[in-house]
Amino acid sequence: MSLWTADAIAEAAGGEVRGAFAATGVTFDSREVGAGDLFIALTGEATDGHRFLDGAFGNGAAGAIVSQPVPHPAVLVADTMAALEALGRAARARTDARVIGVTGSVGKTGTKEALAAALDRAAAGAVHWSVKSYNNHTGVPLSLARMPAATRYGVFEMGMNHAGELTALAAMVRPDVAIITAIAPAHTAFFTGEEAIADAKAEIFNGLEPGGTAILPFDSPHYERLRAAAERHAACIVTFGLGEGADVRALETMRLASGGSYVLAQIGARTLSYTIAQPGEHWVSNSLAVLAAVDAVGGDLGRAGLALADMGGLPGRGARVTTAVAGGTALVIDESYNANPSSMSATLKVLAAEPGRHLAVLGGMRELGEESDAFHAALAEPIGEAGLAHVILVGAEMLPLAQALEGRTDFVHVPDAGAAGVALAGVLAPGDVVLVKGSNGIGLSAVVAGLAQAIPAGVA
């Protein structure tokens, strides 16, 4: 069944059909094109998608959206980016799906994935969600444009690093339910403080559909601020957290031998016991947000709990990799995709709870502005509490932390991910557990990729 026909695209985007076609998928990356896809030739300062049309059609594209005549089936428009946005809005308008939007400083990708898995458990094949971290001005309309009309539940992640961005994204997504996972120092280079970050995250409520539900972190120090923003748009407000008074609350929690958690949760007047495969207190909070959203859209809470028990880690966001070292194996916790002060502290606690000798490869945290040095230096405290045997600090941003750790912790400070991989190979031993975490731009995913291929015998 086609996702878009040329005529439907032209109607949505105000374009002209130049060769009929029907597409079963949508992408703007020619490297991702598969048989039957619609390729959108976006133009920008660095590149022009029209240059890759022949390759896209060579890979099986059914048609394209273009802003100049081409010798392929296409819809000709004035602006391909505007056409992508129009396609996203049209996809949202044509579906009766219950749509959930997720944002927050930390936890939004994991919460989005867990929520999609929880809903899919009872509505298999009828749930659509944004892939990877497609949460910005191009990723959100692309994710919307990929949503089939017959979708029952849609789950969309929305991110921002400037005020006003979430207002625009929420206007496209038009969520029936909007979740804020947590507020923490992130992208502080673009904000005056956490209150400004909270205000920017609360913009998600601007796009709520009439009768919509806002889901808020009850334990957040910015809770009252978030609630005041939600009250202007939401017909219903649901809170989640550990504190007494939260609508969806963890009454009991217990760490399991597997590293995950057992949770007894109160959801209104009901209780639900379930386990979470993912380790860490932050995942208890994420799970409560998931249950609040499942309940808000009328989903099956019991099956949602089963999904949480089965959910593994995501690459770059908690995935666990076993790597071979001389004489045995070591465990790698892959948190290489992103980092801010809050998530660093949370994952160091996860590392500390694991059996074995603990090591960490920690990359710089980007976009923290004038307070960057202070935020990095402050990581000395959670590192000390975690009792790490050895720390590898990566990048210039980590100099203040290196200075703070002098005489307190065994560490080395290296310039880049390549040097970090070499340094780790020299100290990793059987039974070790190593956390790899940093902002994506540091490139620590390469360290994880090298470990996944196994460190050569005799190096450790």
Distances (CA, A) of 84 to 9, 101, 160: 10, 19, 19
Per DSSP (E only), the strands in 294-450 are 319-325, 328-335, 358-363, 390-394, 411-414, 433-437
Q: Identical fold at 95-310 and 319-452?
A: no
CATH class of 319-452: alpha beta
If DSSP states are collapsed to H, E and C, what string results for 285-321?
A: HHHHHHHHHHHHCCCCHHHHHHHHHHCCCECCEEEEE
Position 186 scores a pLDDT of 59
Predicted confidence (pLDDT) per residue in 286-337, tens digit: 999 999 999 999 999 999 999 999 988 778 888 888 999 988 999 999 999 8
Position 185 scores a pLDDT of 63
- Rounded-to-integer distance, Cα 451 and Cα 421, Å: 8
Provide the whole-model pTM.
Answer: 0.80
Query: Domain segments of the chain: what residues?
Result: 4-83, 95-310, 319-452
Q: Which residues of the chain have pLDDT under 50?
A: 455-460
- Rounded-to-integer distance, Cα 262 and Cα 246, Å: 19
- Contact between residue 319 and residue 335 where contact means Cβ atoms under 8 Å apart: no
Distances (CA, A) of 416 to 208, 282, 446: 43, 29, 11
Pick the CATH number of 4-83 from 3.40.190.10, 3.10.180.10, 3.40.1390.10, 3.30.70.3040: 3.40.1390.10
Position 457 scores a pLDDT of 39
95-310 CATH: 3.40.1190.10
Position 23 scores a pLDDT of 98
Q: How far apart are the first and last CA of the chain?
A: 53
Of 348, 357, 364, 456, nearest in space to 402 by CA:
364
- Rounded-to-integer distance, Cα 97 and Cα 149, Å: 8
